[in-house]
Structure 1
Amino acid sequence: MSKPISVGLIGAGYIASWHADALKATPGVTLAAVCDVSAGAAKALAAAHGARPFTSVEDLLASGVCDAVHILTPPHLHAALAIQCLECGLDVLVEKPVAESAEDTRRILDTAKRTGRRFSPGHNFLGLPAYTRMKAEMQAGEYGLISTAEITWALPLAPLRSGPFNLWLLREPKNLLLELGPHAFAFAHDLFGEIQVLSAQASYPVDLPVNDPRPQGFRILARAGGIDVTFHLTMVEVIDDRSVTLRGSSARARLDYAADVLTIERENASDLVLNPLNRQRRLAREHRRAGWSNAWVQLRSLNTLNPYGRSFRGMTAAIYGGSEDPRFSGDSALAVMQAIDAAINALPVEQMTPAAPAVQTHKPQPTAMVIGGTGFIGRALTRRLVADGRDVRVLSRGRTGPFPDLPDNIETVGVSLRDRDGLTEAMKGIDVVFNLAKALEDTWEEALENDVGVALRVADAAMDAGVKRLIYTGTIASYDMSDPSAKITEDTPFPADMTTRNLYARSKAECERQLLVRHRERGLPLVIARPGIVIGPGGPLQHWGIGRWHGAGAVRIWGHGRNILPFVLNDDIADGLVRMIDADVEGQSFNLVGDPMLSAQGYFKAIHEVLGAKIDVQSGNLYAFYAGDAVKYVLKKYALRRHGVVRPSLADWKSRAHFSRFVNDRPKDLLGWRPEPNRDAFIQRGIAEANLFGLDDSRSVGQT
């Protein structure tokens, strides 16, 4: 029996788990190593798969434990890492986009050919079973002669409107096409051959902070193999449509590659009366067959083998299945990147050039620090602090932030929240620290480390640095809000037993508990803020504090949706937080919840009336939610044997509906806080001006 191929992952972010699961399911392959600059991330993923963790690529390469690596870092690092690994004698798979240009892609390919190693692009959707069937049927002539093809990626990209804005894909307008283009262009190249871009158009511009527009849509016309191909890439709040449609002389084939569903529409030879009926009956059978097939796959795999996961399994099976598969060859990677480069070059230069940041005239002198300053609340808070005359130090993962217009007032520093000494140094000279950080974890152990542990480390650093006030943001989700007759104030205690609450609510409550211990025993200058359901410009349409979303067009509300929800405007949250700086309220907590305004049903009715967008709103049966959660708990704990699964509770589900009413007298009395009291003004600021769908300006931003 031949020795298994040992594979390492470079990068342990979100996409890494998909690669790890696919490798685990691929015969003859073993995951041997995980490398990430974050030791915690590398150790966690490595431990889950019996691999060795590394924190430097050099150490990984020197260990000799790998035959191949998957490069899963941000794209600007891909080319250098791929070349480095190829030079060390390893095969490489590079996540899309494989590089930032065709030139860099050619450098990778040339290195692979010179070293005799394999270079594969991570075009995972080409590995879907339904796509394999579509390609085979097209090549067999089942669809007749193909005349046109439409390849669509229509899926909301929330960071364009609500951040974080320091992501690689938002650094330059072209990065959006580099990020999404490989999916669509890989289909066209694999089906038809070399792609010739004829024209390109960008649309739906949205301003990043500040006056730095990014297109939210691209329409590209091309020819490939004699076929007219139209590419649609749309990132506004739209119904999910990720599809490949082939129009042939005998049939129209449509692949929904997000669902791994292929449907074929054909003509039939029935008479004029029965022809339309039989055509639709045949199409209905196609959908019914695909629906039952996918339902059986999900049931059999306990919902662990979704279409996205299947695409990665198909890709890894093809790459490690023996001879090089043309779908995942270095030559195909280069061809795809050349087509994307051509599309970028077809767009007006001025629309593909990011705005230059304002010129700094002097260094900021920060007296306030915002941890989480690039987030929704953090951005509004940071700008409010500057408006009040304070310079601000923003703690961020990178060294850039969404404040290019304020270089004299804001500095961004990249310090790990695990580095107490680094945090202490960053807090020197700072009077007030706002900790808006949060971690959404899968187990209580992870929450203790990455949420509670971070909150305490920030607090200790603040005391070490002599900070005068630490303002920590908890959440109203920590309350038991299941009783419609109850009124919640800051004196209302959290439940004594939080073990059956969702991890976010439980973790935030534990952060507050331990921070208050430090306040009482060690003099931590602490004030706690608990924002309500925050809306306003820069906030998301798909707010999961209101219900469970199914794309941009459908939501199932937590509960009946007729009770008043604790909505609050983002600017009002910033105002409340700023008022906590100098008020004599040390050791106290404040529920920053606006005046009673809207129910969930009323909120969506207002969206319809003000914006003209009708969302399919369904009431959610909380008992059904609880029962479904209980079944999942049993399957995860006993069938899949997952560690740290949280036992569900009915009270937790009822609390999501926010049945209890909040009383906001304390922040009004002690802080002088005045949230927006007028319903019409609240709707104007929270809905009309929020650009929830990303369609405020539908004018084209350039075409050739």
Structure 2
Amino acid sequence: MTQKEMRVGLIGAGYIASRHASAVELNKQGRVTAVCDVSETTAREFAGSIGAQPYTSVDDMIAAGVCDIVHILTPPHTHAPLAIQCLNAGLHVFVEKPFALSRDEAAAILAAEEASAGQIAVCHNFLGLPSYAKLKKLVADGSIGRIDTVEVNWRFPLTPLRSGPYNLWMLREPQNLLFEIGPHLFAFATDLGGALTDIQVSTGKPITLPGNLGVRHQTWRVLAKAGSIDVAINISLVEGVDDRSVYVRGTNAVARLDYAQDTLNMRYENAAELVISPLSQQLSQAGQNIKNGAVNAAKQLTSLNRKNPYDLSFTNTVQAIYTALSANKPMDARFSGDAAATVVKNIAAVVNSAPAAAIADIPAAPAGSPNPTVLVVGGTGFIGRHLTRSLVASGRDVRVLSRGAGGPFSDLSDRVEMFAASLKDAESLEKAMQGIDVVYHLAKSDNATWEGYLENDIGVTERLAEAAMKAGVKRFIYTGTIASYDMSDPAQTITEASGFGDDIESRNLYARAKALSEERLMDMHQLRGLPLVIARPGIVIGEGGPLQHWGIGKWNGAGAVQLWGNGKNILPFVLIDDVSDALIKMIDRDDILGKDYNLIGEPMMTGRGYFDAIHQSMNARLRVKSSSFIALHLIEKLKYTLKKNVLRKRNLSQISLADWKSRGHLSPFDNSKAKADLDWQPVRDKDEFIRRAIVEANLFGF
């Protein structure tokens, strides 16, 4: 009997939506017919890329009758109301984790399911891994024996804790971290042992978030019981080696599941002679490792990386859920509403058992009303946060434009005003400019296509400039990027007169978009009098910046980086303090209108020198590897060919070999123009540079 193809609606078109869409496509049991997002542009762009119909209203999507099941991929606080709404409409519902944020919300969803023709499922996706299926089989058939201990680990860096953005949902309240990360861990514990009791919680490595957002503890240890099983759940969010694993100890064997790599290793006692037993044990482990590596490599190669462990976990989860729904059978127990409710109950119990310091209330904001004369667009990013605080320190009140009302400045609420506005709404942008003398445009967008950059980056820049001119703003300061330069020739010293070259269309989309934005703004300056100044910061480092900075190289976790090139040329580093200083100096100088400035620090160190300094000052020797630009270019060309001809991807772009070389910043910079015109003095002393860029930057989180 042929199963009916399920029509799928995705509610939320953020980064996780592509995983769900790919999983639906690979399963061939369903087809994405609708994409709903509050952003019309985002909905339209993503829906167009997969051949679906865009919507901006869940009510409209339901009324259109275009889907049988919805995937709820929106922020966690919206999961319960959206799930209930869609269940009440008779749809099946697949909810991203967390299922709910309280026992009451979970109960309300289950009650709606009881009264609905639809079924509910939750995305505890790691339970869909093939390696976990093997582990469950070994548990069920008694191969591991009677289990006494289950330990679940999530030791994986959470960069936003140290470098933002701080307006993410998971950072708004202390317990949100547990509801964001905890479902993965508690889903394993629940599926292997059941509901938890006798919960004890300890925490450590506190970090204070900027802007009166309070303290977050980066390590959590939970001890509990699940029947006769001792359960330990460990979370560590500081920079370090990725250890996302499940350890199961029984009377017959020990199992270690690496769910980030989709591998399962077993260790059994053996009957070999005492002298031979250690060798036998290690040979067994080596054989399992070789087999796991070969199988996973073959999967990824033959599927063009669509069966990497993370994507495979989504694919298998969707398959299990859709199979149950298509056959009108009860939901797979791993992904059922009852299991999801138990996970929520366990996380809520941990929150209630946590030390008071770990879930302390956020400090009260200072009283007072700001009178802003400076507007910072992109003020919640790395540079924007530092610039906003530096502007306040210089005696100026600031308005920060953001998509929401929250931000990392509640400790400065008497000096900093958060203004919620869409960058695509000309009317709200004009309101944001009222009373403003200076506008900093630091915002950028990440898009998969050139059309997306034209609308979300270049179009937004023009719209901001138009609003500034209508409001009579006295200074419009735009941050471009040095990535727009061709930095592939070590013999060419780059100055502001160098230009971006004639091959800009063969550059990466971000660099190309920034260059075109500058061109459009300069036209507005020359033809219409836009009071423009352009800044192009180099590789910005310092407090609030990430350890894993992709301007330096390609990272494979916190402890390993592949440099762009051999890492022996001086990189255009610049301290965040120096960038803010230069940007503020651009406010009052009338003779710099229409000029552009490369904000590059003094020649200080190479890529390898930077990591040597980390080793010497922090006692952490990271694994640093060189790369070949030609090899990177050829690999990218191969990926392009496969995506275009095998996966039939649309709107792809190819970048040049020069663009790859430019990532290595092979060309030196001359920063004399910024120093002369702005009276700017970036840090010259190497020891001071290292202290501020590395030692005081809290790169590792502890």
Query: What secondary structure sits across from 2:179 in the alignment?
Result: helix
Q: Distance in 1 between matches of 2:419 and 2:478?
A: 20
Choose from 381, 395, 400 the match for 2:401. Answer: 395
Counterpart-to-counterpart distance in 2, 1:138 and 1:3: 34
Q: How far apart in 1 are the matches of 2:33 and 2:651?
A: 25
Determine if the alignment matches structure 1 residue 635 to structure 2 residue 636.
no
Q: How does 1:168-247 map to 2 (within 5 A)?
A: 168-210=169-211, 212-247=214-249
How many angstroms does 1:57 deviate by? Answer: 1.3
For 2:412, what is the secondary structure of its paired residue? coil
Q: Could you tell me how far apart the structure 2 residues matched to 1:389 and 1:159 are? A: 28
User: Pairwise mapping of residues 238-277 of structure 1 onto structure 2 (< 5 A)?
Assistant: 238-277=240-279
What's the CA shift string for 1:8-32, capped at 9, x where partnerless? 1111111111111112223432222
1:476 aligns with 2:482: yes
Q: In the alignment, which residue of structure 2 is the partner of 1:37?
A: 38
SS at structure 2 position matched to 1:205: strand
Deviations 1:273-295 (A, max 9, x none): 22111211111111111111111
1:423-502 paired onto structure 2 within 5 Å? 423-502=429-508
Shift of 1:439: 1.5
Q: How do residues 598-617 of structure 1 correspond to structure 2 at under 5 angstroms?
A: 598-617=605-624
Separation (CA, whole Å) in 1 of partners of 2:568 and 2:551: 15
3-state SS of paired residue (1:110): helix
Q: What's the secondary structure of 1:405's corresponding residue?
A: helix
2:376 matched residue in structure 1: 370
Aligned partner of 2:662 among 655, 668, 681: 655
Partner-residue secondary structure (3-state), 1:477: helix
C-alpha deviation, 1:140, in angstroms = 0.7
Indicate the residue corresponding to 2:317 in structure 1: 315
* Structure 2 counterpart of 1:442, one-letter code: A
Q: CA contact under 8 A between 1:373 and 1:396: conserved in structure 2?
A: yes
Corresponding residue for residue 593 of structure 1: 600
C-alpha distance in structure 2 between counterparts of 1:587 and 1:623, whole Å: 38
Letter in 2 for 1:171: R
User: Contact 1:172–1:353 at 8 Å: present in 2 too?
Assistant: no
Q: Which range moves more in the overlay, 140-149 or 235-244?
A: 140-149
**TM-score after normalising by structure 1:** 0.97
- Hey, what does 2:510 align to over in structure 1? 504
| Amino acid in structure 1 at the alignment position of 2:237 | M
- For residues 616 and 242 of structure 2, the distance between their equivalents in structure 1, rounded to whole angstroms, comes to 23
Shift of 1:112: 1.0
Judge conservation of contact 1:197–1:342 (CA < 8 Å) in 2. no
Q: Secondary structure at the match of 2:238?
A: coil
For residues 360 and 175 of structure 2, what CA distance do their matches in structure 1 show? Answer: 8
**Greater Cα offset, 378-387 or 320-329:** 320-329
Residues 403 and 421 in structure 2, CA contact (< 8 A), matched pair in contact too: yes
State the SS of the aligned residue for 1:493: coil
Secondary structure of the residue that 1:103 maps to in structure 2?
A: helix
Moved over 4 A (4+): none
1:500, 1:275 → 2: CA distance?
A: 60
Q: 1:574 is paired with a residue of what secondary structure?
A: helix
Q: CA deviation at 1:133?
A: 1.2
Distance 2:513 2:230 in 1: 54
User: CA contact under 8 A between 2:91 and 2:117: conserved in structure 1?
Assistant: no
Task: Provide TM-score, normalisation by structure 2.
Answer: 0.97
Mapping of 1:82-93 within 5 angstroms? 82-93=83-94
Change (3 A) 1:573 1:197: farther
Q: Aligned equivalents of 1:209 and 1:598: distance in 2? A: 29
Q: Deviation digits for residues 89-108 of structure 1, max 9, x if unmatched? A: 22211111111112211111
**Pairing of 1:554-569 with structure 2 (within 5 A):** 554-569=560-575
Partners in 2 of 1:325 and 1:83 — Cα distance? Answer: 20
- In 2, distance between residues paired with 1:496 and 1:5? 49
| Corresponding residue for residue 358 of structure 2 | 351
By how many angstroms is 1:606 displaced? 0.7
- Change beyond 3 A, Cα 1:210–1:416: closer
Contact 1:360 1:407 in 2 (8 A): yes
* Cα 1:28/1:623, change in 2 over 3 Å: closer
2:54 match: 53
Aligned counterpart in structure 2 of residue 339 of structure 1, from 346, 364, 370: 346
Whether 2:19 is the aligned partner of 1:12: answer no
Q: Deviations over 1:452-500 (max 9, x none)?
A: 1111111111112211111000011111111112211111111211122
Q: Tell me the secondary structure at the aligned position of residue 256 of structure 2.
A: strand
The structural deviation recorded for 1:116 is 4.4
Residue type at the aligned position of 1:656? R
3-state secondary structure, aligned to 1:433? strand
The alignment status of 1:133 with 2:134, answered yes or no, reads yes
Q: Could you tell me whether the CA contact under 8 Å between 1:26 and 1:313 is conserved in 2?
A: yes
Taking the aligned partners of 2:395 and 2:466, their CA distance within structure 1 comes to 27
Residue of structure 2 equivalent to 1:536: 542
Cα distance per residue 1:355-392 (max 9 Å; x no partner): 2232322x211110000000100011001111111111
> CA shift at 1:545, angstroms?
0.4
Deviations 1:516-542 (A, max 9, x none): 111111111111000000001100000
Tell me the secondary structure at the aligned position of residue 278 of structure 1: helix
Distance 2:486 2:568 in 1: 19
What letter matches 2:221 in structure 1?
R
Residue number among 608, 611, 629 corresponding to 1:622 in the alignment: 629
Aligned residue for 1:161, secondary structure, equals helix
Q: 1:440 to 1:109 in 2, by over 3 A?
A: same
Correspondence 1:376-387 to 2 at 5 A: 376-387=382-393
CA drift at 1:270: 1.9
Secondary structure of 2:570's aligned partner: coil
The residue matched to 1:354 in structure 2 has which SS? coil
Residues 512-521 or 58-67, more deviating:
58-67
Partner of residue 287 from structure 2, selected from 266, 285, 292 = 285
Q: Which residue, out of 673, 678, 682, partners 1:675? A: 682
Letter in 2 for 1:579: K
Contact 1:151 1:232 in 2 (8 A): yes
Query: CA contact under 8 A between 1:251 and 1:265: conserved in structure 2?
Result: yes
In the TM superposition, what is the alpha-carbon distance from 1:553 to its structure 2 partner? 0.4
Q: Could you tell me which amino acid in structure 1 is paired with residue 301 of structure 2?
A: L
Q: Which of 403, 418, 431 matches 2:424? A: 418
Give yes or no for contact 2:211–2:412 (8 Å, CA) kept in 1: no
1:690 aligned residue: 697
Would the aligned equivalents of 2:215 and 2:360 in 1 still touch at CA under 8 Å? no
Which stretch has the larger CA shift, 319-328 or 378-387? 319-328
Q: Counterpart amino acid of 2:520?
A: Q
Spell out, residue by residue over 1:331-359, the C-alpha distance to the aligned partner (whole angstroms, 9 max, x if none). Answer: 10111111101111111234313322323
Q: Distance in 1 between matches of 2:235 and 2:372?
A: 41
Tell me what 1:699 maps to: none
Q: Cα 1:266–1:485, aligned 2, differ >3 Å: closer, same or farther? A: same
Could you tell me which residue of structure 2 aligns to residue 700 of structure 1?
A: none
Contact 2:127 2:334 in 1 (8 A): yes
What does residue 532 of structure 2 align with? 526
- Cα shift at 1:642: 2.1
SS of equivalent to 1:661: coil
**Does the 8 A contact of 1:35 with 1:60 survive in 2?**
yes
Q: Judge conservation of contact 1:197–1:220 (CA < 8 Å) in 2.
A: no
Partner in structure 1 of residue 25 of structure 2: 24
Distance 1:4 1:668 in 2: 65
Output the CA distance in 2 between the equivalents of 1:556 and 1:164.
25
| More RCO (CA 8 Å, sep 6+) | 1
Please give the secondary structure, in 1, of the residue aligned with 2:701. Answer: coil
What SS does the corresponding residue of 2:569 show, helix, strand or coil? coil
